[in-house]
Structure formats: structure tokens, C-alpha cells
Structure 1
């Protein structure tokens, strides 16, 4: 099947979806159940002082999806950063990250990319979440929804000539993919996103296999002690980037850091790696014309 026909099939309304409508029309509040317990000692809360924040809706090809946005309460246009969710969806941590970017002068927006498949915040078990929602989200649908989110940002104070993307866990993989999809992207920062996940009919894009198609430099931030992403996979990605001549992309591997080391609300939070990664993220966007 060609890419065009695959995309058309992916974006046609699913009969079951048509009967029940989008599974999510508004964002969940608080933290996703599968991500609990929250570590009260380390959680970061970014104030909305001086910002415009809140939930909005993004028009996509088959309806609308909810999203969270944050931007300075001043005159734009502002550089845009797409913030792509963890496997838990757009919950409070992702919203807080949007506010962090907005405090740095960005229009940050996080679309709920599971809106058609279900509400991730209501599922307690990670394996159940993967089976019932995450595994059913087509890559082509995600790419199209992110394109639609960029269009919303352009109409609402964003400068698409200064477009960046960052994502965490599930969103880290998506970051690599979107950097191979959108020629208008300036830069991406992928936090511990899978690199070599086997393809399947709905999710047939594999980051390491799309290196030659990268249209923007990507900074990959990974943990040496990540049990789900072996160091060997990280090294293979480094070699693939080198072989493809993508010398403007880089990967940082933090010694001793686990998966989700930036997630300050979880026990995996690793302050030194998180702080360094955030600093590198902002510098990367500035270096490549996003900021």
C-alpha cells in the first residue's frame, strides 16, 4: 500500500468511531491514574503568572481534539513548541511543561493525541493502557493531528517559521517521527523515546529506519539505566545518524539515569539529569532558530 493510500485509509472515519464520536472532547484533570503515586516531595508546579493558559480545541480532518496551550500574555507572534505527551496522555505534568515553555517566551501546545481511542487518565494499569489505547493510535493520524495543531498555533499567535517539537516517552518517539515528516520544523528534542520498536500495521514508522528522512536536527536525551531502551539501541541510533550524514543531530546519554528521569512527579525523577536536559533543550531550540 502506498503512503498516500495508507494515509487516506488511516484518516477515514472508523464506523465504530462514527457511532460513538470522539472518546475525549475535553482534557482530563490532575494526573493519570496509571502514573500514580505522585511524589509530593519533588513535583514541580509552574505558575501561570503573566501567561494565557487553558484548554482549547484543534480542528482535525475528522472533527476536533482537545489540547492544552500556554503562551505569554503579551503581543506575539511567539515561537511554537509542540509538546507531545507521555503514554499517559495530556495530564497535569504535560500541562506544566507547557507553562514552563511559555515562561520562556513560547507558545506551547499539547494536543491530546489519543482523543479518538479513549481516555488514558482513567486507566489504572499501564499494560491495559497500552493494549486498549496506545496500540490503537495510528502514526499517520498522529502526524496529521500535529500538523493541524501547528495550523491552530499559526492562527493564534504562533510563528511557524520558528517551530519546534519536544516529547517524552511515547512522545519522544513521536518527536523523531515528526522531524522526518514536517519540512517546516526547525528542531526537535526527544526525551527517552523508543528508537527500534518493531513496526505494525498502525504504527509502521520506526525512528532508526527514518534517519535519512530527518528534515530537522533532533537532540535525543536518554538514560543509561533505562530498562526499556537499552544502551545498545541508543548506540545504534548514533551510528545510524552518523552513517546518514545527520551530524546536526545529537544524543546525550545520562549515566545512571532511568526512564522518565524528567518526570518530577514520579519516583524516576533524577534532578541533575532533568535540569541538564532542560538546559540543553532550551539551548538546542535557540541554536536552531526556534527561540
Structure 2
């Protein structure tokens, strides 16, 4: 490691430690930059390059992780959580949760209470699938090896929801797409929960045509943020609806497949299967 790189690495490591130890004081960009002896502008750029996110965003992640732990305690009110996290009030706590978690702190605390979710297990050309829906649309679709583990993963997202093991029309329409008309994909309704950035990434993925591939950098460019490739990769890795939101169509600029939450062998098979559909048609 070059000398300057080592200096920069140590500065960012010190800044991360400072943020983690002082997040309850909600330090400003200027305060953190001063701590590591840099100008705010230089520190902002350096931190984003090394950490893959901005200092403000990292502070928000640290803060919300702490707030989530507090909210899991039944006796913790929203006001108490906001104060203990170093926020000025419940409105800032609300904005933080909506921005990062895609839900209000109250919705996080009740864990999906009063939400009815239908789920079922099915087979696809690429393995076992669990599919789940609300009254709005498909909220979860994932490949799995064991039913019990797949169900626990679904329930971890909405721990207090009411679950019913049943196939509904939304499931049938979603699974129909594996074997029939791809032109009606936009008619499948989705019920997605995520940050504004995640939703924008997932929406962009939906625009990648079947049989075609895109890179993380190209997705970032479409979002008009060419430096956001890492953040794009993180958002893609958080995709809650496999296949329908085609994160498998995103690869590295070098041509390497990159990662895939449900396994690279499966990603390879899906890409090849879609390519064959484009050439021979859907018989």
C-alpha cells in the first residue's frame, strides 16, 4: 500500500470510529473533518471514495441501527428513541426511517402488524420458490433450499404480520411468467418497501429488456450518479423479489457475472435461459 493510501486509510478508519463513538451528538461534516485534519470538501470526497457512501449517510446508518435496537424494546417510545439516538425529535426519527428503511418508525416497531400476507411454495425452471403477496401485490419472491428457512426469512421482514399458506391470484400471475407471455410482465403488481434510492434502482432494473444485460456502472449512469456503482450493487443485493425484478441481468463491466443473492450458478442458468427464449421463442 502506498504511503498516501495508508494515510488516507487511517484517516477514514479514524473518522468511522469517531462517528460510531459520537453519533448521539450527531456531529457535523465540519466536526468530523476537523477530527481527521482535513477540509470538509476534501474529507467528503475522500470518505465517499473509501467507504462507498457519504459521511452523512454513514452517520444515518449508525443512528438508525441504534434506533432499531431501541424500538425492539417494547417500553421504548418513539420520542424516547429519538432523544436517545441524538435526534431533535420524532419528526427527524420519522424522516430517517422513511429515507433509509422505506417505512415509518411506528411501522418498524409493530413489525407489519395488521398486514395480511399470503404465501406459498412453488417450482420454477431454476429451483424451489417461495412467493408472498399483500392486498397490494407481490412483496417477496425468493429461491430456497429448505421451506422452513425460506418462511423464516419472509417472516423476519414482517414479524407481526398475519400469514396464510394459500395460493392467490397474484401468485399465479407472477409464476405464470416463467412459462408464458413476457409482454404482460408490467401487469404484475408489486408491493415494495425500500429507500428512495433502492426503489429507483429496482425500477431501473425493470427496464432492462429480457435477454439483455447491463452493468452496475450503467445503472448508476442511468440514475445520473456515475459514482454510485457500489451503492447500486448494495441496492441490487437487497432486491426482495427475485426474477421479476431482474437483478440477474446486471453484471460487472468486465463481463464477469458479479454477485447474486441466490447463487452464481442460478444466475448463469437464468441468463442463458432468457437468451434462448429470445432466439427460439416461447413455445
Please give the range of the TM-score, normalised by the shorter of the 2 chains. under 0.3
Identify, as 1 or 2, the structure richer in helix.
Answer: 2
Identify, as 1 or 2, the structure richer in strand.
Answer: 1
- Radius of gyration: which is bigger? 2
What's the TM-score, normalizing by structure 1?
0.27
Instruction: Name which structure has the greater RCO, CA cutoff 8 Å, separation 6+.
Output: 1
